[in-house]
């Protein structure tokens, strides 16, 4: 299953689910990364990490290690 990590800059996708039940998973969900939400990969920081996404009209930043946990459907 593709994850956010497999996206290219500018791509749009739909969140399907997030691995894990820890505080990070909860924080991701609270920030709007939840099943059915559309997410867009806006860009990368100058050193390649972290990554900027747009979800629910908000821009958020995630590390590429965290993006592996977010499963998507294109």
Partner 1 sequence: MSNSASAESAENPGVESNLPASQLTFALIGNPNTGKSTLFNALAGMKARVGNYPGVTVEKKVGNFQYQNHKIELIDLPGTYSLSPRTADEMVSVRVLLGSQEQTEIPDAAICIVDATHLQRHLYLLCQLLGLGLPTILVLNMWDEVQKQKLEIDVKKLEQRLGIPVVAACARSGLGVPELKEKMIALIANHQSTDKSKRNHLELFPENFQLARAEISKIIQEKTGQQIPEYLAERLLLDINGETEREVLKGNEAVAEILRLKREELKQNGCPIPAIEPRVRYGWAREMLGGIIQQPELPVEQRGDYLDRWLTHRIWGPAVFAVIMLLMFQAIYTWAGPLMDGIEIIQDAISRLITGAMSPGALRSLLTDGIVGGVGSVVVFLPQILILFLFIAILEDCGYMSRAAFLMDRIMTKVGLSGKAFVPMISSFACAVPGIMAARTIEDRKERFVTILVAPLMSCSARLPVYLLMINAFIPQQSIFGGFVSLQAFVLFCFYLLGVLVAIPVAWILKKTWFKGEVAPFVMELPNFKWPSFRVVFYRVWDRGRSFLKQAGTLIFLTTIIVWAAGYFPGDRTELNQVMAQLESENLSKEDTAREVLQERSRELSSQLLNDSFLGTAGHFIEPVVEPLGWDWRIGMGAIASFPAREVIIGTLGTIYSLGGDVNEEDTGLMAKMHSARKADGTPVYNVPVALSVMVFFALCAQCGATLMVMRQETNSWKWPLFSFTYMTTLAYLGAWTTYQIGIAILPTV
- Residues contributing to the site for partner 1 (CB under 8 A): 17-18, 21-32, 34-35, 37, 42-50, 52, 55-63, 66
Between 13 and 62, whose beta carbon lies closer to partner 1? Answer: 62
CB 35 within 8 A of CB 48: no
Smallest gap, in angstroms, from Cβ of residue 71 to partner 1?
12
For 24, half-sphere exposure in the C-beta direction (CA atoms, 13 angstrom radius) is 11
Smallest gap, in angstroms, from Cβ of residue 6 to partner 1?
19
Distance CA 24, CA 8 (A): 23
């Amino acid at each position: 299953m593709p994850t956010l990590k497999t996206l290219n800059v500018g791509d749009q996708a739909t969140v399907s689910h997030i691995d894990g039940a820890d505080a990070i998973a909860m924080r991701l969900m609270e920030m709007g990364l939840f099943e059915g939400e559309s997410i867009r990969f806006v860009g990368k920081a100058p050193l390649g990490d972290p990554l900027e996404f747009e979800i629910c009209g908000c821009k958020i930043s995630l590390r590429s290690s965290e993006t592996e946990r977010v499963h998507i459907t294109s």
